[in-house]
Structure 1
Amino acid sequence: MPNLIRLIIGFAFVGAAVALFIFGFWGWGILLVFLSIFIFITYFYNENMLIAQWYLRKDNMPKAEQFLGRIKSYEKELNRVQHGYYNLLIGLIESRKAPMKSEKYFKAALNLGLHMDHNIALAKLSLAGIAMGKRNKLEANRYLAEAKKADKQKLLADQIKQMKDQMGMMDKQQQVRYSR
């Protein structure tokens, strides 16, 4: 329902802007056009998620969690396209607190749909790290290969290489243990 109200207000602002242009109030008309653009942006991108992403980039997890906490029921409040991104953000926050508990959020994000390749790669890289923590090398390798395939712009290439190196070190440690 709040999304419907946003659309109604956005179109009302566009109509008022057109009326202001007709009557010669160009300044107020331009202002209303910008306000309507802002309202339409918040229809497609929830403002709490945008602010939470900004705080995640600033590495302020408590504030990001606070803004995501304002979304009570993401199925009702967010567009269907945003469901996967909501779970991805929750998973990133949860991975700092309890990494093994964040697995369900990353899997839900992938199941609900992420549309940007680097976000898919990030979710799969995080799942590879969780699989490594569980000492499941086969699953970790599979997720790393999928992450590398999804990372077309090489934004996570360093992290993928680092994780492969860590897996190699795990293999060496296991070989040393077994040789004793």
Structure 2
Amino acid sequence: MIGFAIRSLLAAGMLFLTVYSFYTGYWGWGIFLIFPTALVILSFNYNENLAFTLNHMRTGNQDKAQRAINRITAPQFLPKRQRAYVIYMQALLNAQAFPSVKIEGMLREAIQLGLKRGHDKAMARMHLAGLCVQSGRRQEAVTLLAEAKKMDDSGMLKDQIKMMQSQMQNAPSKNQMRMAQMMGGRKKTPKMR
């Protein structure tokens, strides 16, 4: 929020200086100041922490990416697409720290807001499918994986989707999980002599 206030004051000051330069007849300075003023005004449309996060993800530095994305505390003030990517990146990078219910809600919200790229949509659905398998919702996981397979236009997630499908066949169903919880886990039967 402080960054937004500083950016607003800087944009207002530069805009005033640009107009004043044209008004007083300093056309050269006025034309020169149009470009920095435009850059400051355009910075309202794109969050720098999101840019840093995407850059750190490209270079493979997960810790710096997580710190950069967690600096965004109020994504509701961002444009819709950026808000979707901020929530999506927060869910992926904080998967170990947040409970799975919160991660699932964040991924569903990011999908609803509208991710732009096909492989991002596929990745979000693949992670949701993994969370559904963990909670025993196999049918929902199958449909999410089928959607992810359709949306993976570049074929980047083809191997991971196949691996998840093979793991789902070995995963216990919701009823088996419930029975195991009721029975207190699997008990060994004594050997007959």
Both structures adopt the same fold (TM-score exceeding 0.5): yes
- Could you tell me whether the CA contact under 8 Å between 2:133 and 2:171 is conserved in 1? no
Using the alignment, how far apart are the partners of 1:81 and 1:7 within structure 2? 25
2:91 equivalent in structure 1: 91
2:189 equivalent in structure 1: none
SS of the residue 2:116 aligns to? coil
2:140 equivalent in structure 1: 139
Structure 1 gaps, min length 5 = none
Using the alignment, how far apart are the partners of 1:32 and 1:155 within structure 2? 42
Cα deviation 1:73-92 (Å, max 9, x = unaligned):
1112x222211111101110
Runs (4+) off by over 4 Å = 6-9, 35-41
Task: Give the total of aligned pairs.
Answer: 165
**Residues 103, 7 of structure 1: CA spacing in aligned structure 2 closer, same or farther, 3 A cutoff?**
farther
Mapping for residues 158-177 of structure 1, pairs under 5 Å: 158-170=159-171
- Superposition RMSD in Å: 3.6
Using the alignment, how far apart are the partners of 1:153 and 1:32 within structure 2? 40
User: TM-score, length-normalised on structure 2?
Assistant: 0.67
Cα deviation 1:29-51 (Å, max 9, x = unaligned):
5x984x56754663332110111
1:119 equivalent in structure 2: 120
Using the alignment, how far apart are the partners of 1:107 and 1:90 within structure 2? 13
Flag the structure with larger Rg: 2
Identity of aligned residues (%): 30
**Residues 67, 154 of structure 1: CA spacing in aligned structure 2 closer, same or farther, 3 A cutoff?**
same
Query: Which amino acid counterpart does residue 139 of structure 1 have in structure 2?
Result: E
Mapping for residues 23-172 of structure 1, pairs under 5 Å: 23=28, 33=35, 39=40, 42-76=43-77, 78-98=78-98, 100-101=100-101, 102-170=103-171
User: TM-score, length-normalised on structure 1?
Assistant: 0.71
**Residues 55, 127 of structure 1: CA spacing in aligned structure 2 closer, same or farther, 3 A cutoff?**
same
Using the alignment, how far apart are the partners of 2:130 and 2:98 within structure 1? 13
Cα deviation 1:156-179 (Å, max 9, x = unaligned):
1121111112123337xx8xx9xx
SS of the residue 1:43 aligns to? coil
